[in-house]
């Protein structure tokens, strides 16, 4: 199974809009990443996102930009300071259903960094420190090699995409 962890695109400050939707730059960055992944032949079987507006917009923009017939699903437990334990179990359940599937999880920092550390180290602690910096619209690809064995494959930031 392939797991893609993606931080939402750049969002408006709360003082401008309390819902913090994506800025024009945020939308553009997400569209660039989506176009690059589509050109690379990457497909997705499912897309999960947090309940926050910026994550939902990022997920929808990715699906539209990649031209995929995938439904984006909001999931509780993907907010910035949530424990990763619950989502790790949901990911394990998904991987059991689709051993060769691919899942995109769109969320926030520091949550995504802690999730990556938890999966890569096999740690059960949601207090793991972050392993990498997720820039807005940045995406990390992990590949599952066993029931609990994950490997980091690559990371892409929008400023590296033409």
Q: How far apart are CA 74 and CA 48, in angstroms?
A: 6
**pLDDT in the model for residue 125:** 58
Per the structure, the complete domain to which residue 113 belongs is given by 2-160
**pLDDT in the model for residue 144:** 93
**pLDDT in the model for residue 135:** 95
Q: Is the pLDDT of residue 132 over 90?
A: no
**Percent above pLDDT 90 for the chain:** 80
Q: How far apart are CA 106 and CA 4, in angstroms?
A: 8
**Percent above pLDDT 70 for the chain:** 95
- Give the pTM: 0.94
If one compares 29 and 98, the residue with the highest pLDDT of the two is 29
pLDDT tens for each residue of 12-36: 999 999 999 999 999 999 999 999 9
Domain count, the chain: 1
Q: At 13, list the tokens.
A: 């400050």
pLDDT tens for each residue of 76-88: 999 999 999 999 9
CATH number of the domain where residue 92 is located:
3.40.50.1240
If you average pLDDT over every residue of the chain, what do you get?
Answer: 92
Mean pLDDT (whole number) for 88-100: 86
**pLDDT in the model for residue 82:** 94
Find the range with the poorest average confidence among 60-64, 113-117, 122-126: 122-126
Where residue 122 falls (left for φ over 0; alpha for ψ -120 to 50; beta otherwise) is left
ω into residue 32 within 30 of 0, thus cis? no
């Amino acid at each position: 199974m392939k797991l893609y962890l993606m931080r939402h695109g750049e969002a408006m400050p709360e003082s401008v809009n309390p819902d913090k939707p994506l800025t024009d730059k945020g939308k553009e960055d997400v569209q660039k990443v989506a176009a690059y992944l589509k050109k690379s032949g990457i497909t997705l079987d499912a897309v999960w996102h947090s309940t926050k507006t910026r994550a939902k917009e990022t997920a929808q923009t990715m699906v539209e930009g990649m031209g995929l017939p995938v439904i984006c699903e909001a999931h509780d437990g993907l907010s910035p300071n949530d424990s990763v334990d619950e989502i790790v179990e949901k990911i394990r359940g998904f991987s059991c259903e689709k051993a060769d599937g691919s899942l995109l999880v769109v969320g926030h920092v520091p949550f995504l960094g802690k999730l990556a550390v938890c999966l890569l180290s096999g740690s059960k602690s949601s207090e793991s420190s972050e392993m990498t910096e997720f820039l807005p619209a940045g995406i990390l690809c992990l590949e599952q090699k066993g029931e609990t064995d994950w490997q980091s494959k690559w990371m892409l930031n929008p400023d590296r995409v033409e």
